[in-house]
Amino acid sequence: MTGQVRTVDGRVAGRRGQATRQKLLDCLSEMLSTSPYRDVKVIDVARMAGTSPATFYQYFPDVEGAVLELADEMAKEGAGLTELVAGRSWVGKSGAAAADELVDGFLSFWRKNDAILRVIDLGAAEGDKRFSRIRTKILTAVTGSLTESIKELQGKGRVDKDVSAPAIAGSLVTMLAGVAAHQKGFTGSGVKQADLKPNLALLVHLGVTGKKPPK
Amino acid sequence: MTGQVRTVDGRVAGRRGQATRQKLLDCLSEMLSTSPYRDVKVIDVARMAGTSPATFYQYFPDVEGAVLELADEMAKEGAGLTELVAGRSWVGKSGAAAADELVDGFLSFWRKNDAILRVIDLGAAEGDKRFSRIRTKILTAVTGSLTESIKELQGKGRVDKDVSAPAIAGSLVTMLAGVAAHQKGFTGSGVKQADLKPNLALLVHLGVTGKKPPK
DNA sequence: CGGTAAACTGACGGCATGACAGGACAAGTT
DNA sequence: AACTTGTCCTGTCATGCCGTCAGTTTACCG
């Protein structure tokens, strides 16, 4: 599928080359989680990796390009999020459990990768197609499965036919992403940390099934 | 309340000074909506305003500082969002209408100011307290009122006591903000534009009242 | 008209960017 | 071991933006 790793000027990268490339990506990743995106400079990343800016530009066209690589790596890992939803029953008590675990899994994934994810979010919001595509790819892992679940419930007559399954699924996932990204903002305005997850799960359950979960 | 407008070196700004200051802010605002945040340079803003970079630095410490000013302007305007919720009844048909209008008003506010809002979002997500505070200030206009509405319903026994009103309100508003910011991402993945608002309104209604709106 | 404070600018050292050519290195060949 | 080959890295350079200062122009007031 993906061809070999290549440098900007078209050479194929060997073992050593791939190692430095990866090191640069790692350092960029750390940089992103410690400094504002706007202040991340090529020279700092290169210094941290014990190399020179020129080396950086051999493997990536610019900072954005490198971020997209990081995002791609993460998107692959994010494909596993599908399992949080696929094949789950949303009826009765197992429905409540499904909501709980979806919220939990999603939040921890987001938190683990928050630095890159917020850059992707920004790029996508700015209308950059490359970022939008990756963002969709990551979220589709969840929204897709969730859409299926809702459609299934509609098929059984448990959910109104006139709701749009993809719209609901997308909105709920966006909510989870937003809350994960601004978690600090919540605790700062009168929401107890412990209250967050159960109430999110409640909202997810309500959205998917249209009903409150059983006690 | 707010003292006079001051330059970085402490002078008070006169008529002419305030005019150029405002012009710089306007140009910055336009710049933000046409270029990626990372590429917005002081020199471009200054050029667009027909002045020099040095002038920019007389009124703002850096680009971030100027963005915070823009955000402050917008926060004042955003205070009007309270009226989308305050004093509304969430019972019966008027509940459905309240949800509709909240979604509508919120989305159009967000869309009108999306350039600055996504920068604020980024700053807040990166943990910058100044951005977090402004973001909270804007959102509080809605979450606060919404929290009150939910608490009121809880008082009347129409909503379970064990849900956290602020957590629900915050999550719903975050959902609205997220959807507004990534609206294009939705339509790009199988959600019809026209389906979005009604389904969001449904989710809001469900979240606030715990019940589906009447037909 | 003269004085004072405000408003602006030119110019400068410093740093990031992005390109190139050439040197260092690993691995295999003779 | 010396040589060869292709990969990998860096020194260096031109360019352009950043952020600051000293100094000039403009507006206001007695």
Mark yes or no for CB contact B128/A170 under 8 Å: no
Average pLDDT over residues A9-27: 81
- Protein residue closest via CA to C1' of C19: A54
Q: Say if the Cβ atoms of B182 and A126 lie within 8 Å.
A: no
CA of A8 to C1' of D8 (A): 13
Distance CA B6, CA B3 (A): 8
For residue B78, give the nearest of B42, B40, B116, B43 by alpha carbon: B116
Query: Which string of b and e fits B90-108 if b means at least 16 CB within 10 Å?
Result: beeeebbbbbbebbebbbe
Task: Tell me what pLDDT residue B203 has.
Answer: 98
In whole angstroms, what is the distance from residue B76 CA to residue B9 CA? Answer: 26
pLDDT at residue number A191: 92
Q: Tens of pLDDT along A147-182? A: 999 999 999 998 999 999 999 999 999 999 999 999
Q: Per DSSP, what are the bridge partners of residue A6?
A: A12
Q: Provide the token pair at A141.
A: 């892992």
Q: Work out the average pLDDT over A184-205.
A: 92
Architecture of domain B1-61: Orthogonal Bundle (1.10)
Please tell me the CATH code under which domain B72-209 is placed: 1.10.357
Q: What are phi and psi of A12, to 5 degrees?
A: -90, 140
Distance in Å, residue A20 CA to nucleotide D3 C1': 28
Strand C proximal residues, B:33-52, Cβ < 7 Å: 51-52
Integer angstrom CA distances of residue B107 from B100, B166, B174: 11, 21, 12
Mean pLDDT along residues A53-58 = 90
Q: Is the pLDDT of residue A93 over 80?
A: yes
Q: Grade residue A2 by pLDDT with cuts at 50, 70 and 90.
A: very low
Separation in Å, CA B56 to CA A112, B117, B118, B131, B183: 38, 22, 23, 21, 34
C1’ D29 / CA B12, Å: 17
Q: Percent of chain A scored above 90 by pLDDT? A: 73
Contact B136 A188 (CB under 8 A): yes
- Is the CB of residue A207 inside 7 Å of nucleic acid strand D? no
Confidence at residue B3, expressed as pLDDT on a 0 to 100 scale: 62
**Strand D positions with any atom < 7 Å from protein CB?**
7-12, 17-22, 27-28
Q: In chain B, which residues from 54 to 83 place their CB closer than 7 Å to nucleic acid strand D?
A: 54, 57, 62-63
pLDDT score for A1: 42
- Comparing CA positions, the residue from A140, A120, A139 lying closest to residue A130 is A120
Residue A16 pLDDT exceeds 80: no
Cβ burial, residue B150 (10 Å; 0-12/13-18/19+):
buried
- Mean pLDDT along residues A104-114: 95
A105 or A13, greater pLDDT: A105
Q: Which residue is nearest to nucleotide D21 (CA to C1')?
A: B54
Average pLDDT of the residues in A191-210: 96
CB contact under 8 A, A212 and B64: no
- Using CB atoms within 10 A of its CB, is residue B155 exposed (0-12), middle (13-18) or buried (19+)? exposed
**Using the CB atom, is residue B183 less than 7 Å from strand C?**
no
User: How many Å from the CA of B150 to C1' of C9?
Assistant: 57
Q: Do B142 and B82 touch, CB atoms closer than 8 A? A: yes
Residue A215 pLDDT level (bands cut at 50, 70, 90): confident
Q: How far is the CA of B33 from the C1' of C13 (A)?
A: 33
Mean pLDDT score across all residues of chain A: 91
Domain ranges of chain A: 1-61, 72-209
Give the span between the Cα atoms of B30 and B66, in whole angstroms: 13
Tokens of B103: 């979604």
User: Which parts of chain B have pLDDT scores under 70?
Assistant: 1-3, 13
Instruction: Judge residue B110's burial from the number of C-beta atoms within 10 Å of its C-beta, 0-12 exposed, 13-18 middle, 19 or more buried.
Output: buried
If you average pLDDT over residues A90-112, what whole number do you get? 94
* 44-63 of chain A touching strand D, CB 7 A cut-off: 50-55, 58
Model confidence at A3: pLDDT above 60: no
Q: Comparing C-alpha atoms, which of A17, B145, B29 is closest to residue A25?
A: A17
Chain B residue numbers touching A67 (CB-CB < 8 A): none
Contact between chains at A38 and B179 (C-beta distance less than 8 A): no
Closest CB to A174: pick one of B38, B179, B212. B179
How confident is residue A8, by pLDDT bands cut at 50, 70 and 90?
Answer: confident
Q: Do A202 and B114 touch (CB under 8 A)?
A: no
C-alpha A10/C-alpha A21 separation (Å) is: 15
In chain A, what residues touch B186 (CB-CB under 8 Å)? 167, 170
Mean pLDDT, range A130-159, rounded to an integer:
93
The helix, strand and coil proportions of chain B, stated in percent and rounded to the nearest 5, come to 75, 0, 25
CA-to-CA distance for B70 and B115, rounded, in angstroms?
Answer: 11
> At residue A121, does pLDDT exceed 90?
yes
> B1-61 with B72-209: one CATH topology?
no
